[in-house]
Structure formats: structure tokens, C-alpha cells
Structure 1
Amino acid sequence: MSNLTIQPFFWRPTNLFPEKRIVSKTYEGITSYTYGEFERRVRSLLGALNDQGLGPGDRIGTFGWNHHRHFETYFAAPLSGAQLHTINVMLGDDDVVHIVEDADDEILFVDPGEPFDRIERLWDDLPIEEVVVMADSVPDTGVDAITYDELIEETDPIVDAEFPDLEEEYSAGMCYTSGTTGRPKGVEYTQKMIYAHAMMVMSPAGLNIDETDVVMPVVPMFHVNSWEFPYAATMAGATQVYPGPSPDPADLLELIECEGVTMTAGVPTVWINLLEHVDEHGSDLSSLERIVVGGSAAPEGIMRRYEDEFDVTMEHAWGMTETMSIGSVSRPKSYMDDWDRSRKYEKRKKQGLLLPGLEMRVVDDDGDEVDWDGQSVGELWVRGPSVIEEYYNRPEANEEDFEGEWLKTGDIVCVDEDGYIEIVDRTNDVIKSGGEWISSIELENALMAHNDVVEAAVVGVPHERWQERPYACVVSADDSNPSEDELLAVLDDELDQPDWWFPDEIEKVESIPKTATGKFDKKALRDQIDVVLEDD
């Protein structure tokens, strides 16, 4: 048996930190139990999977949110030698059917409520014979289903001698990309990849997680292994808090206050909404030390408020499904300690330094590497032990997105003299106007520097003369209505760019469509804008 598998991740907390707690909000309420009890439940689930003949070569699908039962599948499935396939509950019906068929899942672990209702509605289109409902009861249904607790209570915990022998190259995890530019693509992770990436994330150069932390991953467990928190925090022996289905700001605040959460993570919208809730209802964030932000950049004003008012540091991270989520983290280097605050924020606003084990290139349209001067831009290529080298069942995408061991990320970046990555745009989102490119991300960040702007998204729209022009949509804070002149003025203040960079139109909207992972859904936004322009 190789040691570069998930098995040591299970052994360490259950033997060295058996008294540490796992707290979970579920549809039934809040559950709290220890790593020692977690061990027994995982061993029972592992025995149940073995009894059903599930092991190497099989895929076990999940369709649920962040809670302890889902967390237990993260270990039992790969410990059996099978592959855990987490399916995004926010995807459309067609994508769910496509993903389950494409992955050829053998069994589905499904949350009650809306996720189960979706599976029941799609049942005749799914190649699935059995569903395990991750709750203590099963709805009245024609679907062949059993409750999670029944499944594990009917099985004796498996003993060490019965553990399957695991190989490093066994497929252990599977996620699909968000599919904003076409059908979602399957991404497979081996035992060794999960081991390597969790160690990278746990390390001081990553997120620096240790056993004193109380970690609450808000990023969904159906999204890229919840940014590796379930594995990295477990290996560290940290207390873990899972906020349950579709947590709102009140849910998150209650868990932070009651459980003494020190570290949490999610997309910027979550933390903007939490701050608005705090402004209205008050809070106690005294335990919270760090918020890890990914998906898009957090506005600097939000970062400063958390730091000034609550002594909470927001840390930007970058990653992709193809890199097993987190691939870089941004915090100032030690020799920058004496820098003034504004200068440090220039670093903290970027996507930061690569995690140990990864390498990168920044390549221009001619295939040449660009200088690390903070100005020259190119596409980010990465490689390393947590980076895939091909998609599952997608040969055409493999030819386009890989160059040997290098993954072409599709992110347009510049890298400064200190090695800090800054995402300038996505290759699909960069706006080409009159032969020159305009960064939608720079425009968005500048618009969100306005105190009354909560969210901003910018896309390119067709233009008869200039090919494309930027079109901005902004969501204003409650009881505010900044004028277009005010917003153009903030762009002029924030950006050292010519006027032709600025949007021809800035539309006020109630909300901006988002992908299932909380990012701006620019494909959907373009469709909405096309309708508006056609009506005009």
C-alpha cells in the first residue's frame, strides 16, 4: 500500500485528535460530534459500499450541500478505492443529466428537499438504480431510496484488516467545470493528487491550517472539493464547521459566534452580504481571523472594512477545477512588513504567489514568455502535482487546453517583479475594441471602488465600428442611486487608462446572474443585454 493516498488523512485525526469536533447544520438541525465518532461512521459507510460491490473503477455521485454526511462520503468513497463525484446542485437539469450519464455514476447520495426533488423529476433520464438520501427520512416517492443513517446502521464498521489496498494512481475524485462556455468538462483527481494538494493547501505557504483552527468552508462541497478544506482541515486535526444547505448571512453569523470560527472561505458576494447583515443586526466576529476569497476579487473597500472594524484579514486566492482549486494565495512577503498599508494592499489585491509544487509560465499570442514586470500580459500556464493533464472523455478540449504537462488556464495575467500573479481577464471575457484589448476585470474592480456599488460586471457587446465596446451592469447598495457621471468619474480616478476604455453604457440592475459556483455568469449576462439592445 502506498502512503501517498487518502488513508493517512483518515488515520491522523481519528488517532491523534479523536476528541476534536465536527459541527454540522443539516435539514434537521445542528449536529456536533467528534473525530472519534466520525471514524466509526466512515468505517460503517465504507463497509456498506463494500457490501454493494463498490470499489476501484466505480463512481459514487453526491448531490448535496455542506454537512457532516456529505463530509463522510469524502472519505468513505476514496477509501473504498472508488471515485467520489460531487455534482453541482445549482446546475440546470440538462447539465445534471449530462454529467451523471457522462460520469457513469453507480449510486447517488442526495440531499433532501430541492436536490432530491430534482433527482426524482429527472429519474427516468438518469442511469442510476439507487439513491441514498442524506437525511434521517425518505420522502414518499417511486425512486428506489434509503436513508443515509439506515445504510450505515445496518452495517458493521469495517476493521483495519478489511481496508482495501489503495494505489496512488487510483481515481479518487471527480468534478465538472462550470460549463459557462459549453458543456461542463469532467476533471479527475487521483489519490496522489488529493494527497499532494491537501498538503499544499495546509502548508504555511498555502492557507496555513493547523489544529488550533476552527474552519468553516462556505464554498460548496460540490465545487472542487470545497477548495480542499475537507481534506486539508482533517489532516491538520482542525475543528470543522459545515454550514448546511444554502446558508444565509444569519446562519453564517450564528455559527461564527457560537462555534468560535477562526477561518472561513467563499466567493466575495458571501462576505459582502454578511457585512450588510452585520450593519443591520450587529455581530460578534471576535473569533474570526481570516476569510479566504476566490472566484473573483473582493473590493478593496470591503477588505479594509473587515480589517478596520473587525480585525479580520481577507486573503485572495486563485485556482480552477483543473488545478484542484487553490493554486495561489496572496499575502505580503516578510520583507514587506515595513511597507505602508496602501502599498501592502497593492499586493493583497492580487491573486498572489503560487503554492509550493506548482510552476508557471506567462505566454503571449506568439507563444513567447513575457517579462515579470507588472505590465506585460499573457496567458497563464501552470503544471504540478495537483494540475490535471487531460479532461475526462473530451479529446477535442485536450488538444486545445494542454501543451504537454502545461495547462493553458485561459486566464490573462501579468506577474510583477515579486512574483505576484494578477488576473487581468479571461481569454473569453477580454474585450477587443478597435484592435486594442480592454480588461473587464479592471473596470469591474474600479466600479466597485464606489461606496454605493455592491457588484459590477462588464462584458463586451458588438459594435459596428469598433467590433466590441464595454457594457457595464451595476448593483447599487440599498437606498442609493449613483449617477452614470459619478460612476464614470470613479473609473477616471481609479484607472490610469484612456477614456475609450470606459463603458459606453452603465446599466443599473437589481442583480447580476451568477454561475452555480457564485461567479458572474457573463454568458447569461450577455444574453440579457442582447435582449435589452434588441428592444432598444
Structure 2
Amino acid sequence: MPGGSNMTLHQFLWRAENVFPDRELVSRHHDGVSRFTYSEYGNRVRQLASALDAWGIEQGDRIGTFAWNHHWHHELYYGVPCIGAQLHMVNIHLPKQHVHHTVSEASDRILFIDATMVRRLENIYNSDPEAFSSVKQFVVMSDSVPDTHLSPIVDYESFISKGTEDYTFPPVDEEQPAGLCYTSGTTGLPKGVEYTHKMYWGHTMGLMTGELGLTNTDTALTIVPMYHVNAWGRPFATVAAGAKTVLPGPDPDSKDIAELIEDEQVTTSAAVPMVWRGLLEYSHNHDFDISSLEYVISGGASTPEDLINSYYNQLNVKMVSGYGMTETTPVTHQSAHKPQTISYTNSELTKMRSQSGIPLPGVQMKVVDEDGNEQPWDGEALGELLLKGPWVTTEYFNSTNQTEESITEDGWFRTGDIVRVDSEGYVNVVDRMDDLVKSGGEWISSVEIEDHLMHHELVKEAAVIAIDHDRWDERPVAFVVSEADTPDEALANELREHVAQSYPTWWAPDVIEFIEEIPKGSTGKRSKRTLRDNLVDEQLRARVQENAPGKH
């Protein structure tokens, strides 16, 4: 049969070791900063793989991690899949019961733990030891073991000392599962998604393509947590590209990020908008040099246009948006230029960069209405975004029912996102289907209201949710973090008028509540579920009934 070699992660590691042996991986961690050349990194990956083999890990076994971004975690990203085993990245911010569910369902045989997270994992373990019955070995990512009752336990450096740098990886098929991540569980228990070598391979090629593609001249700071959906594929793409890799370590704050950008001359990075807003605010009161930074990618939530403008005007850094999901490895879209958009400036350029963007090579998309009819790309028609591609999942792990609900008979993945697509193919995510406000038979986009509110000079952050209404079915309520010293009803009325100036008057929130902080979920996104559970009471519902418009 004609054809080439299997598409596996081994090829990326080989390229980094042999073509870019002197390029660095810089790791900030609990005990300082470590530096490795890709040649040294490759030796450590093989030593890890050899130790796993000697311990008894076989192809198809799963190994869990509970950790931040550093060289130990990064080595596991390659060492585990390259022996045919599967890396399960456990989200360290999930509720206890969700960690129990994911570790138990995955049947992890070894669990590698961040040295700063041992106490947290102990507490989770103590609340349900049976959930960890499959785990036969705990490994602390360090050169020593803190006091703990977790057992048996060993430090990482002692564990890999049993291996050899001369280890030869076994043959691995491209369809062999290499990774496992779980959704953040915003609606029930988290759902597992498996990634094969081929899925990672294709996704990596997508991240190295086009205007925003990673190259060997880049220095890439991987801020996106490695416990969250493959760190957006950055650990694979930086190595494959031969880029210098910088890892920010445990719980990095704006000061840590700024120092790493300056010290390591970072050229590109990716994170959620919350991180980028924090760095911007830090820059207002601190002097640091980030002139090396050429562009950053913002994703995981909508990117406000004012944030894009602030980065360009105040920091001279391009900010572009991306889109993806756990089920899509995750990146499928980026707001990269087309020939037709290169001349864009000012508001036209900002609008383009704030959208989810165009699909990466290999990804197909379509937009359908409630009856499954395909919608035109005219910048107006709304519908659910459906995706298909080499790194878009066609099934959930161990969940036939979820698969049947989310995958069409002809293999399209239903994202649950309501979008519009313009004539150039740029996707604009209007809302999650579950977060749309369905008022009087019409849709109100909570995302658009949030973004517009955050354009106001006195609004730092906003989240909009739907509240049941007797007449209109649902009405919008906004929770706002204000820059004002004492936000009051006068400001609330001003914000409602601010919305009504750009949207139909009935889109304006019936109630605006000022709060100290918007709650965040385990991935840094606004947690509207927490707002509904903790801040919606009968008094608020009554105010919505009273303030709702008499007619549309």
C-alpha cells in the first residue's frame, strides 16, 4: 500500500533534538528556574519513558497529572504518549467530586503531582479514597517528597533515575490514544475526550500555519495551563517548531508573566482575556520592558474590543482572538488576516481581530438553524456552529449518550455555540445556546451585551444571565464590576442607556447588579452558573418582573 509513516509525536521530539538541539526550554517552578536545551530535554523524556516502561506501564495505560506548567509536566506530554500510553491531565481547579469522577473513570495507574498541589490532592483523596483505587503510584514533581500520607510515593527525579537516556521508543500507531482531557463540567459531570497521536499531529500543523503560525524564531510563553485542554496544543507546537519554550510555573501572576516576557525576550503567548487584562492593569503602575512581544492570542472567552485596542495603543502588542473547545483539541479558528483584510485599520481591524476568526487548514464548518437547515455566510443569519476535521472528536470517552447528542449521523460535531459568519468566513460567536436570552420569541446575545458594557469607561467586567419572566419567557440581568467608587442606580441607568444606544431598547438589562468580582470557573471563564446559584433570589426576580419592558 502506498503511504508514509504514522503521524506520531515522536517526529516532533526528533526534530527538536536533532535540528534545534541548542534551543532552550525555560521552566519556572516551586524551587527556582531551570533551563534545558532540547537535546537535554529529549534525554530526560527518554529517561522518563524508560522508567515508566520499567515500572510496568503498557500501551493503552493511563497516567494522570495534577500540575502547573513546568518542565516535569512538559516531559510527560511527550514521554507518556511516545511509549503508547495515554496522558490524562486532571484540572487542578475542578471540585472534589469532579476530580473523583475523572480519575476513577480514567483508571489512572500513576498520578504525577505538582509539589505545590500535594496538600490539595491529599484533601481530595481523603474525601473519597476509593476514587483513587486504580492509582498504584504517586510521584511528586520535584527532587524530594514532602510530608504526606499519600502512598506509595516517590519524587520525580528518583523515579526517572531508574530509566536510561538510551531508551528506544516502541512503535506506536497514529490512532493510539495519546491524551485525555475532561470538559469543565459546567452542565453536570465532566465529559472525557480522547486525543490520538494523529489528532495531536494535525492540530500541531494547524498551529504552525499562516500569519499566526509558530516558527523556530519564536520564544513562546505557555501561559494556558497544561491541565486545561492540552494547554491549547502549545507544548506540542513549540517543540515541533523548534521555538524557545518558556513555562511560567505554579499559579503565575501578572508580575511573574511580565518578568518572564522581559527576561526571556518572549515574542508570543496565549491566554484567556482575564490574564491579559491583569497584565495590562499591572503595566499601569509598574515599569517593565515587553518590547519583544509581537502578538498574543486571546481565547476561552470573548475578547473585548477595548482590550485589543489597549494592547495595541498602550503596549504596542497585537492581540488576536482564537476559538476552540475541549472536543476540538482545542483550536479550530484564529482571527488571522486574509488578503482582503490586510488593509484594515482602526475599528475595522479591531472588529476583525475580536472575532473567533477563520478555520485552520483541515477544519470544516457549517452553521445550521434549529431544523438543521444550513445558514448563509452573510454576517447576519444565526445558527449553531458545526465542525468536522482531523482533530475534531467523533465520540466522548465512555459516554454513548453524550456522543449521540453531540455528533450528527454524518460525523459533524455540534458545538452548542450560536454564531454568525460573514462573507469572508470569519466566525463571530454570539452566545452559548444555554446562555442566550430568549425574550418574546427573539434571541438576545448575552456576550454582545457583556462586551458592549465593558466598552463603558466605568465597567471593568460584566456578565449577563437570563431570568425567567412571565410574559417574555426570559429577560437579561447584568452583573457588573465597576471602576466607580460608589456605583449607584444612576450609573445603572447610564449603562442601560449605553446598551440601548447600540442595540434594540429591549436588549438593555432590566436589572444591573454591582458586585465586587465576577466568579470564575476552573478554566478562568465567567461562571454564570455560580451567579445563578448564589445571587439570583426572589427579590431579584421581582425586580425583573417590575422593570421588564411593556412591549418590544
**How high is the TM-score relative to the length of structure 1?**
0.96
Q: What letter is aligned with 1:396?
A: N
Counterpart for residue 390 of structure 1: 395
- 1:138 maps onto 2:145 in alignment: yes
Partners of 1:307 and 1:313 within 8 A in 2: yes
Where do 1:219-368 residues align within 5 Å?
219-368=224-373
Measured after TM superposition, the shift of residue 53 of structure 1 is: 1.7
SS of the equivalent of 1:228 reads helix
More deviation in 371-380 or 293-302? 293-302
Match of 1:203 among 205, 209, 216: 209
Q: C-alpha offsets along residues 496-525 of structure 1, whole Å, 9 cap, x if unaligned? A: x22111110111111111111111111111
Q: C-alpha offsets along residues 209-254 of structure 1, whole Å, 9 cap, x if unaligned? A: 0011000011100111100000011000000100011100000001
Distance of 2:305 and 2:540 partners within structure 1: 36
Measured after TM superposition, the shift of residue 117 of structure 1 is: 3.2
Measured after TM superposition, the shift of residue 480 of structure 1 is: 6.9
More deviation in 372-381 or 116-125? 116-125
Q: What letter is aligned with 2:420?
A: C
Partners of 2:30 and 2:250 within 8 A in 1: yes
Counterpart for residue 122 of structure 1: 125
Measured after TM superposition, the shift of residue 346 of structure 1 is: 2.1
Counterpart for residue 180 of structure 2: 174
Number of residue-to-residue matches in the alignment: 531
Partners of 1:22 and 1:241 within 8 A in 2: yes
Distance of 1:289 and 1:485 partners within structure 2: 40
Match of 1:454 among 460, 465, 474: 460
Distance of 1:298 and 1:387 partners within structure 2: 23
More deviation in 356-365 or 147-156? 147-156
SS of the equivalent of 1:18 reads coil
Match of 2:10 among 1, 7, 10: 7
Measured after TM superposition, the shift of residue 488 of structure 1 is: 1.6
Distance of 2:473 and 2:272 partners within structure 1: 32
- 1:101 maps onto 2:109 in alignment: no
Partners of 1:449 and 1:490 within 8 A in 2: no
Measured after TM superposition, the shift of residue 347 of structure 1 is: 1.4
Counterpart for residue 25 of structure 1: 28
SS of the equivalent of 1:122 reads helix
Partners of 1:452 and 1:481 within 8 A in 2: no
More deviation in 59-68 or 471-480? 471-480
Percent identity of paired positions between Structure 1 and Structure 2: 45
Distance of 2:122 and 2:233 partners within structure 1: 26
SS of the equivalent of 1:113 reads helix
Aligned-residue Cα RMSD (Å) equals 1.6
Measured after TM superposition, the shift of residue 173 of structure 1 is: 0.5
- 1:491 maps onto 2:510 in alignment: no
**How high is the TM-score relative to the length of structure 2?**
0.94
Structure 2, unaligned runs of 5 or more:
543-552
Partners of 1:332 and 1:344 within 8 A in 2: no
Counterpart for residue 87 of structure 1: 90
Measured after TM superposition, the shift of residue 204 of structure 1 is: 1.5
- 1:184 maps onto 2:193 in alignment: no
Match of 1:408 among 391, 410, 414: 414
Distance of 2:297 and 2:360 partners within structure 1: 15
Measured after TM superposition, the shift of residue 166 of structure 1 is: 0.6
Structure 1, unaligned runs of 5 or more:
none
SS of the equivalent of 2:529 reads helix
More deviation in 510-519 or 332-341? 332-341
Counterpart for residue 155 of structure 1: 163
CA 1:478/1:112 → structure 2, altered by over 3 Å: closer, same or farther? farther
CA 1:120/1:515 → structure 2, altered by over 3 Å: closer, same or farther? closer
More deviation in 116-125 or 217-226? 116-125
Distance of 2:16 and 2:121 partners within structure 1: 35
Measured after TM superposition, the shift of residue 130 of structure 1 is: 1.0
- 1:16 maps onto 2:19 in alignment: yes
